[in-house]
Structure 1
């Protein structure tokens, strides 16, 4: 592959990034839709073909399994050869590979298991119950979040100073119990994968030196999303003899709530000096109006590294801003707009409805169903998270390793085989007291149990042993097919009356297909079965499945990051909803909310519509709202205001003609539509609409100079003219 093939089609800044001198570190500040994936893959192709860097001397880190897969596929096409041995993957995937390769130095066994979020929750819940820690006072989710938050910072229980905070004291107690349980049962959760792999390198000088010398080039995507441990992990591998090539966008840092540190990308120039910064600002996704509005919005954030997106594709349509009376009216407008697009030839999957909170989806779903528009909630359960798939994988895990107590607990009585909670508790108690696993404990206590419980537990033990023996000489997909049949899972789900569509049975059959397609070469540090199980565990660590075809996409703005759609409806643009109420008193949280809005806006390719409701029923109560401050931060030149017709109100008139119309007031000297009022600050105006009565009434007034505003009667001190 020659140089001209690599740089073909790249713009000047992309070309500069791809062919950058490899003697210094680099920050590629890549705006939304600026082709960062193209830059990353072509950079690697350049290093391999033009600089003679061996593929195994390159470490490429992504943030999703989807991105890692896409990078592998693109590189294979560019280099015209398979690259399975290359170290490319997510932070969690690469950390897992390190731990599997060096499990002895990491004080693990070869058979260690990965805990997903559901398994972790269930274990913490049980440990809290066993240690009499009140769930009502200390919710399991909050304790789980506390533990993972500490791990994201690389903090162990002994390092935490609780002071006088009773919640933190109890959190530390559960953290310690949970850590002991994981060590005793050879378990690693997602956060621990990162901590343990970082400490593996940090505490083994020879091993660290090996990987520092091996990886001549370290490329990191989405650098703005790194947490403390991930940043330290990259910093540890970096030396004066290798190059760190970071791609990211501080304006798209929206995961602070799950540990991401925006300051990581901002301090690269200090920690990785010398470093060259290149800005990718040409956008290949959106129209000029969408980019102009997005640039103006994000400019309100301080402490930015700074860039301004532009396009040569033209201005495009203005951004529609729709003011609805209620969330139902908002949903009606959005769905009718989508229906119009479909009538004009658009496909349903070209349209996306984005919202700040999942609770907002209900109104849109009701209208989509009513108008028979196909839709799907994006970001639901991933394939490997589905209960029937986890059931099957736990059987596979137990067949492969009977010491896997997490798998034992999940399937010991599923499908139901007469093994009650009391029996399981006896097994667990024996295992704890004798420092053994649940399977071995079950074998030992079978003779001591009542006949019925003994027979049932003995039958389960024999089932696992028989399946393990029968599967010895089968390939992976045949093993999966065997366990699905012999365990009774396929029979159970075939007769499941609640699964009328038969989707669970189909998913089990799809698992066989997934096993058939599994490529073991990239997980060569372990046997094929363990590789497949690990892939399934890591696949549930944060990726969302691809958008479904021929369905309107409904999703949170967080879920939309990395996606693009021709037609985007960004809804619920109201104070206390977007930006959220929790962010109001914290400048750094408000900045993140604004970045989230920026991300939502820059998902749109052809047409962007923003909407808000004056009144919204949310979380069980009716709330009156003011339009989001973000709407005020977008210059009017990019916007087209659309107002709902509220019947016989002044809003039936065009905005510009309000003061030229002879609106007949409904009463003199009292609050009514059409009355002229005077405000101490805003001057003269005409009442367009009002809701409620007395001091709590909200009044919409069109002022001659200040524009349209909603005011609270008790604070407005209006003078009726």
Structure 2
């Protein structure tokens, strides 16, 4: 039997995993080590060599795309279809199982699946029926609570409220939700797995059938399984020695959505007969990048342990840039990308900027737009297209022009303030009939007392909010106006209470909007009489610019969580500062800090050829300028693997730097016009700054200053009117 196409493309460790005899195995597959290849070749080996019928195989993935790719690659390798094999996501396979056993599970034959939006609307209806205020019991928070309990395998009767009022109320809502869902013949996504698990647990005959049928169970991304997924797998595998789990505890980064890294860490305890196979040869990154990633992740004490290596060369050192502030950081990254694409032949799409929080994308987008470089935000929206930004801008638009109907409709009930669709429809009819704006219709409706007392009061409060903010912000600058509106409308509290896992990111985006507004005001000409109008026009125009279309070559921007599973020749890992990365919410919790370190490890191992790491020595966050320490993750990388890059393009090995992670680089002896690199100076318009670089000689020499308020600027020395500070 010719099995060359199955084994020949594999290295020794992969070949050992693929051709192993039947038995339970944990394949610890490092980043870029070919885990998907091992899974595909293992299935092909079982079918072609071990003569296992396809219908005896169960292969579990985490995305439908991965499942389709796996099936396609298996069929190409075997050169024939593999009908009958169960391959799919946890939810997809559970759905298939419940369709076959709907009667046994006590479900209607044609049960329907609630998606996230449908589930949210059902919860809102329940809150309304129970006359509960959504501001006190946010639907997203209730939704998150219910799904979390189901992911842990808990129904309402399993919860011990122990006199806790909040838990009692949430459990009541959970019970009401379950009753409404059952009456409608509905299952949500979490129910699919929970119902499937309960049926297998309670019906030994059905469990025995599937334990006998599936002689081999293969699982991808095992480190991302949650409690109910792992319990489901354990039931199906039973006492059979047939589980083949592939994963990497060093890449477990989804704890915030229920993934339990301990599932892979305790696998050998739960399956004492299991054999451990390590895939450590990396086919993606250079030796230097792998050494840095190995050194970093070694600081996690609970990991199973492995050491990535490559047969390729050491490659270039990791470049570390200590920016003066976040504007200088974005400038450096974008200028490097320009050089890499224009001088070294890289495509823009081969360059990725990875950041910890979505709010960080703003300055990089701005710098790319200014340089007319197309870009694409992967797995998310551009800054000005995000809902929380559009909400805030809508409030600002009403301050600038209360007759803006689009802005009026967007925020009249955001946050919820008791103005229902019926009231809004009445206002629309009034506006159409009188040929006036919705704002004027609201004023007329309030004056005529055309609504009931509660609706009139709610509408009047909204009108008063806009009027009061218009008056209160008349003499404020753009940043202060934006801050005032966010506070008066209680937007930050609204997003935080949503509890959908994105509240903190949204609040950080609001803070970034304030910074953007302040920076925009400083860049306006002094003659600009309508800064708010100019800013709103800028936001509207920028929302439609620069994003590369799907077929255009554009720089890739994404969060580190979105980057998992991807690879890029050039990676810029930015914002490596204490409080930002690791995030302030994780730094004091050992388990969460380990996940932050795994996230950094994932980011580093996305890079194929070159890796740049950056941090800012000053950064404006939450409306204040801070002086963060460089991230501990930088200190955990051996200095001999890094090269420090200077603002003027000068570099030296990081090991030679007296203090590569200190507060500021040492001043150079290079002088231009009496000013030294690193010297603090004062400009009559731009304020205080630091000398970054200089070029030319004499009166026409240019000097680059990084100003605290407006960022980096090149000035002609003869006209700069600079004064030395200190």
State the TM-score, normalizing by the size of structure 2: 0.67
SS of 2:177's partner is helix
CA distance in 1, matches of 2:353, 2:689: 29
SS of 2:210's partner is helix
SS of 1:582's partner is coil
Partner of 1:129: 128
CA distance in 2, matches of 1:690, 1:155: 63
Partner of 2:11: 11
Partner of 1:79: 78
1:215–1:242 contact (8 Å) kept in structure 2: no
Whether 1:353 and 2:345 are equivalent positions in the alignment is no
Shift of residue 110, structure 1, vs aligned partner? 2.3
1:247/1:689 Cα in 2 relative to 1: closer, same or farther (>3 Å)? farther
CA distance in 1, matches of 2:640, 2:83: 51
The number of equivalent residue pairs is 512
1:218–1:242 contact (8 Å) kept in structure 2: no
Partner of 2:582: 579
For residues 190-339 of structure 1, the aligned pairs below 5 Å read 190-339=189-338
Shift of residue 698, structure 1, vs aligned partner? 14
Partner of 2:723: none
Shift of residue 228, structure 1, vs aligned partner? 0.5
1:645/1:52 Cα in 2 relative to 1: closer, same or farther (>3 Å)? same
Partner of 2:643: 640
Shift of residue 662, structure 1, vs aligned partner? 6.7
Whether 1:373 and 2:376 are equivalent positions in the alignment is no
For residues 220-619 of structure 1, the aligned pairs below 5 Å read 220-343=219-342, 344-380=344-380, 550-619=553-622
CA distance in 2, matches of 1:295, 1:372: 37
Partner of 1:181: 180
CA distance in 2, matches of 1:351, 1:661: 31
1:73/1:166 Cα in 2 relative to 1: closer, same or farther (>3 Å)? same
CA distance in 2, matches of 1:605, 1:280: 18
Whether 1:68 and 2:71 are equivalent positions in the alignment is no
SS of 2:585's partner is helix
2:669–2:676 contact (8 Å) kept in structure 1: no
Shift of residue 239, structure 1, vs aligned partner? 3.2
Partner of 1:105: 104
Shift of residue 296, structure 1, vs aligned partner? 0.2
Shift of residue 261, structure 1, vs aligned partner? 0.8
1:161/1:688 Cα in 2 relative to 1: closer, same or farther (>3 Å)? farther
1:581/1:85 Cα in 2 relative to 1: closer, same or farther (>3 Å)? same
2:667–2:679 contact (8 Å) kept in structure 1: no
For residues 557-613 of structure 1, the C-alpha deviation after alignment (integer angstroms, 9 at most, x for no partner) is 011111111111111111111001111221000000000000011011111111111
Shift of residue 306, structure 1, vs aligned partner? 0.5
2:54–2:83 contact (8 Å) kept in structure 1: no
For residues 75-117 of structure 1, the C-alpha deviation after alignment (integer angstroms, 9 at most, x for no partner) is 1101111225310011111111111111111111222221222
1:378–1:547 contact (8 Å) kept in structure 2: no
In structure 1, stretches of 5+ residues that fail to align are 382-386, 388-419, 424-545, 647-653, 665-671, 675-686, 692-696, 701-721
1:161/1:656 Cα in 2 relative to 1: closer, same or farther (>3 Å)? closer
1:25–1:273 contact (8 Å) kept in structure 2: no
1:655/1:53 Cα in 2 relative to 1: closer, same or farther (>3 Å)? closer
CA distance in 2, matches of 1:289, 1:562: 20
SS of 1:581's partner is coil
Partner of 1:521: none
CA distance in 1, matches of 2:551, 2:557: 11
For residues 307-364 of structure 1, the C-alpha deviation after alignment (integer angstroms, 9 at most, x for no partner) is 0000011111111111112222111111111111211321122111111111111111
SS of 2:571's partner is strand
1:122/1:624 Cα in 2 relative to 1: closer, same or farther (>3 Å)? farther
1:593/1:218 Cα in 2 relative to 1: closer, same or farther (>3 Å)? same
SS of 2:153's partner is coil
SS of 2:617's partner is strand
Partner of 1:515: none
1:2–1:49 contact (8 Å) kept in structure 2: no
1:349–1:548 contact (8 Å) kept in structure 2: no
In structure 2, stretches of 5+ residues that fail to align are 382-386, 388-419, 424-548, 650-655, 660-664, 683-687, 692-726
Greater CA drift, 140-149 or 561-570: 140-149
State the TM-score, normalizing by the size of structure 1: 0.67
